[in-house]
Amino acid sequence: MQIVKLLAAIAFAALVHFVGARLSDDFVRVIDVFVILVALHALRGNSLSALLVGLLVGLLRDSLTSGPFGLFGFAGTIVGYVTARLAQRLVIQRPTGVLAVVSFASVLQEAIVVGLAFLLLPTAELASPLWIAIRAGANGVLGMAVYVVTGH
């Protein structure tokens, strides 16, 4: 039953990504539904499951964007694993803790993507630090809202 819920959540995240990208060009700059999905799944504390979901969702995002294939797959794998290990070490019971963890996951993913881009690509484009902070805050708030609404 868990796998069905997970697949439905992934399909819903892809749908939200498509609809948001069609409505506004800035949606994908501000909101990353895929990192929110990975972080919320990783809050359960299962490192292997979070690692695999991060890989799957990251590769899905790579296939939906026009960037080099594999950057977000690699970053999603690390973000899923680190977030799950963090959830194993910390007791996250309040929605504000979820906000902090999802925001951290968003910044971590951006840092990994930027690092990989510098290592692997001939010309790396950097996102503005202001947009990284806005994205982290927006992702944290949306992740907290999803956490509260779904009653984790």
pLDDT value for 127? 80
Distance CA 30, CA 139 (A): 8
Q: Is the pLDDT of residue 10 over 90?
A: yes
The 3-state secondary structure of 74-97 reads: HHHHHHHHHHHHHHHHCCCCCHHH
pLDDT tens, residue by residue, 28-65: 889 999 999 999 999 998 999 999 999 999 999 988 88
**100-148 pLDDT, tens digit each:** 999 999 999 999 999 998 888 888 777 888 999 999 999 999 999 999 9
Residues in the chain, overall count: 152
Q: Looking at residue 25, what is its pLDDT?
A: 82
- DSSP element (H, E) containing 46: none
Closest by CA position to 39, among listed 92, 83, 85: 83
